[in-house]
Amino acid sequence: MSEPRGTSQGLGGGAKQRIDKWLWHARMVRTRSDAARLVEAGHARVNGQRVIAPAHLVRAGDVVTLALDRSVRVIEVTGFCERRGGASDAAGTFRILENNAGYRPQGAA
């Protein structure tokens, strides 16, 4: 059974994606270049380890910690998208692990 609109849950089979692309698809940032700058600036951690390469691969189950908008967001990677879709598609790619009051992915109603 295929996932709708280019979504791949990636919970098995070793699915992985570049962190800059995943952040953009998950709508954590507005542009992919913003995602790359965020990672290069050292504002992202994967499983507790600082990541400075936008090409770093994330896998389903990885915990990503982001310093955004004067707050820290802790999220778990739950899936991947082939292309950037709407907010409902993005919501299927992560699970929020820490209560971040007032946070909504870009494009969420």
- Residue 50: the pLDDT is 97
Buried b (16+ CB within 10 A) or exposed e, 14-34: ebbbbbbbbbbbbbbbeebee
- Residue 63: the pLDDT is 96
pTM for the whole structure: 0.77
Q: Where do the structural domains in the chain lie, given as residue ranges?
A: 7-96
Q: Which CATH number fits domain 7-96: 3.10.290.10, 3.40.50.1820, 3.10.20.30, 3.40.50.450?
A: 3.10.290.10
Please give the mean pLDDT across all residues of the chain.
Answer: 83
CA dihedral 16, 21, 23, 27 (to 10 degrees): -120
What is each CA distance from 21 to 44, 48, 89, 98, 100, in whole angstroms? 13, 20, 14, 22, 22
